[in-house]
Amino acid sequence: MPSTWIYLVRHGRVVGAELRRFIGHLDVPLAEAGETQLQGLALRLSATPLAAVYTSDLIRARRSAEIVAAPHGLTPRVTPSLREMAMGRWEGLTAEEIKAAEPEAFKEWMSRVGEFPFPEGESVPDLLARSWPVVESILRAHVGERVAVVAHGGTNRVLLCRALGLSLERLVAMGQDYASLSILEWTGSRWTLHLLNDTAIESGRDGRG
């Protein structure tokens, strides 16, 4: 079976990123710097024969996907299941604000990040349960092709953990910077990680060799 390659992209820098708030499902747009980051990534991937671009429906991911897809003449396939984790009543707050308001809940979330749900939101297993089927459908629909998936820090981390057979508790060890690229290859029987959290923008570094 020919390999299927997944180019996993995190959206670019967002407006207000310097505040380090828990964004979750809040529909925060890309900052100007994020647009610039994605233009560089799009140039880098312009020579890669992408068959499709899938994206979360949140505007920061959709806009990032549009930039990535443009050189290939593709229209991103909007897929709500690729959204970031729902962070419930903590959305829009900083860690300091949460610790001040709910110190015990925040402590438990930090100590059990792989299983403790956000209050009134989702857990990491919830996120995996809704996002991994997207990968499975891509593998069925794009055998032997190269596909970009544009999503979020949390979403990308759980997908990487699942592909690599890692415990979900390891997701905090998976770097996912703004506009980063990770590359996975599915051979039909196993996954190979070719690139992780790479933010270089030079063209030609797409992991094909």
Single out the residue of 48, 65, 33, 25 nearest to residue 155, CA to CA: 25
Catalytic annotation present for 72: no
Q: Is 142 a catalytic residue?
A: no
Q: CB 72: neighbour CB atoms within 10 A?
A: 17
User: Which of the residues 84, 91, 142, 152 is marked catalytic?
Assistant: 84
Strands 181-186 and 4-10 come out as antiparallel
Q: Residue 121's closest CA among 104, 135, 109, 107?
A: 109
Query: What angle, 0 to 180 degrees and rounded to 10, lies between the N-to-C axes of helices 124-141 and 153-164?
Result: 70
The two tokens of residue 3 are 């390999």
Options 11, 25, 142, 152, the catalytic residue:
11
Q: 121: which residues sit within 8 A by CB, 6+ positions away?
A: 24, 85, 86, 87, 88, 89, 90, 91
Q: Which residues are catalytic?
A: 11, 84
